[in-house]
């Protein structure tokens, strides 16, 4: 069984946010508008966080692209009252819009703030949207799904072409778009995959690892591990 994960090399990340834009385009993430953005309601499945060094404010800034960390022990799925979010056997934490009652408990529980809410019906039918991803109405929670629809499409294509599914065919939009190749995606359960090898790097660390969420997005720290 595959275990889909991601490694993000912070030394390569330039903070260009191509991943953010690619994600929004791929997943029909709505632009909420300037007024709503001012009220703090931007929806950004992939978000680049900036962390300024405490000692060197002016010179050192760290860019941390933060998708949903697809935890292996997700705090969000524990608290969902209606099975609207759950971890599937391949490690992807699913979000079922049709089931979600909008209680926002998962949002309160996520220590990474990876979940977003549709405060209004932001999305309307518009040309140029990705037909593979459903639109979300007001009142439901949404989040990064590792472009799960691309996995389904790749699997179906392999089935139609009567061949084995190759994990390398499945790449989320952010990994595909990154110009610095900072985002590597693949099957963590396959020790030979690039993701698994990078995850074992001495530079590897996980965000808030002490919380025990077992996130599957692993970061590589800058430099020789000195940060």
Partner 1 sequence: MAEVRDAHEDILFAPIELTGPGFYWAVAGLSVLILWGAIAYGVQFTQGLGVTGLDQPVSWGFYVTNFVFFIGISHAGTLISAILRLSKAEWRRPITRMAEVITCMVIFIGAGQILVDLGRPDRMMNVLLHGRYQSPLLWDATSISAYLTASLTYLYLPMIPDIAILRDRLGKRKLLYSVLALGWTGTEYQQKVLNRAIAIMAVLVIPIAISVHSVVSFVFSMTLQPAWHSTIFGPYFVVGAIFSGIAGLIVTMIIFRKAYGLHYYLKPIHFRYLGQLLLIMALLWFYFTFAEYLTGYYGAEPEELKVFWSKFTGPFWPFFWSMVLCNFVVPLVCLASLKQHTVGKVLIASLFIVVGMWLERFIIVVPTLSFPRLPFPVGVYWPTWVEWGETAGSLALFALFYLLFTKFFPIISIWEIREGREHSVREVEERILSYLPGEVEEKT
Q: Which parts of this chain interact with partner 1 (CB under 8 A)?
A: 36, 39-42, 49-51, 64, 66, 75, 78-84, 99-105, 107-109, 111-113, 116-121, 138-141, 207-208, 211, 213
Question: Closest separation between CB of residue 116 and partner 1, Å?
Answer: 6
Question: Closest separation between CB of residue 94 and partner 1, Å?
Answer: 14
Q: Where are the beta strands (DSSP E) in the chain?
A: 4-9, 47-52, 61-66, 85-87, 93-95, 116-117, 141-142, 183-187, 204-205, 217-220
Q: Which is nearer to partner 1, 137 or 194 (CB)?
A: 137
- Alpha carbons within 13 angstroms on the beta-carbon side of residue 111 total 14
Most distant pair of Cα atoms in the chain: their distance: 57
Q: Which is nearer to partner 1, 94 or 211 (CB)?
A: 211
Q: How far apart are the first and last CA of the chain?
A: 34
Query: ∠ CA(165), CA(171), CA(174), 5° rounding?
Result: 170
d(CA 151, CA 185): 12
How distant, in Å, are the alpha carbons of 46, 151, 158 from that of 155?
24, 6, 5
Q: Which is nearer to partner 1, 50 or 59 (CB)?
A: 50
Question: Closest separation between CB of residue 185 and partner 1, Å?
Answer: 21
Closest alpha carbon to 140 in 115, 164, 117, 166 = 117
Question: Closest separation between CB of residue 24 and partner 1, Å?
Answer: 15
Question: Closest separation between CB of residue 207 and partner 1, Å?
Answer: 7
Q: Which is nearer to partner 1, 143 or 150 (CB)?
A: 143
Reduced to 3 states, what is the DSSP secondary structure of residue 169? helix
Closest alpha carbon to 218 in 22, 25, 39, 72 = 72
Question: Closest separation between CB of residue 213 and partner 1, Å?
Answer: 8
Q: Which is nearer to partner 1, 64 or 154 (CB)?
A: 64
Q: Which is nearer to partner 1, 106 or 151 (CB)?
A: 106
């Amino acid at each position: 069984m595959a275990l889909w994960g991601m490694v993000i090399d912070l030394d390569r990340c330039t903070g260009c946010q191509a991943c953010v834009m690619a994600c929004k385009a791929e997943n029909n993430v709505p632009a909420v508008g300037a007024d709503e953005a001012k009220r703090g309601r931007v929806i950004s499945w992939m978000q680049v966080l900036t962390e300024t060094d405490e000692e060197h404010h002016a010179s050192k800034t760290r860019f941390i692209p933060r998708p949903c960390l697809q935890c292996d022990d997700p705090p969000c799925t524990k608290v969902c009252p209606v099975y609207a979010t759950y971890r599937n056997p391949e490690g992807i934490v699913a979000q079922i819009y049709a089931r979600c009652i909008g209680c926002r408990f998962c949002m309160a529980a996520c220590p990474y703030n990876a979940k977003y809410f549709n405060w209004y019906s932001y999305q309307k039918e518009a040309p140029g949207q990705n037909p593979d991803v459903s639109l979300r109405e007001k009142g439901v929670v949404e989040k990064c799904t590792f472009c799960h629809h691309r996995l389904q499409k790749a699997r179906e294509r392999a089935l139609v072409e009567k061949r084995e599914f190759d994990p390398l065919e499945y790449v989320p939009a952010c990994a595909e778009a990154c110009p610095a190749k900072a985002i590597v995606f693949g099957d963590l359960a396959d020790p030979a995959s690039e993701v698994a090898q990078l995850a074992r790097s001495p530079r590897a660390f996980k965000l808030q690892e002490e919380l025990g969420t077992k996130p599957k997005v692993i970061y590589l720290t800058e430099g020789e591990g000195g940060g």
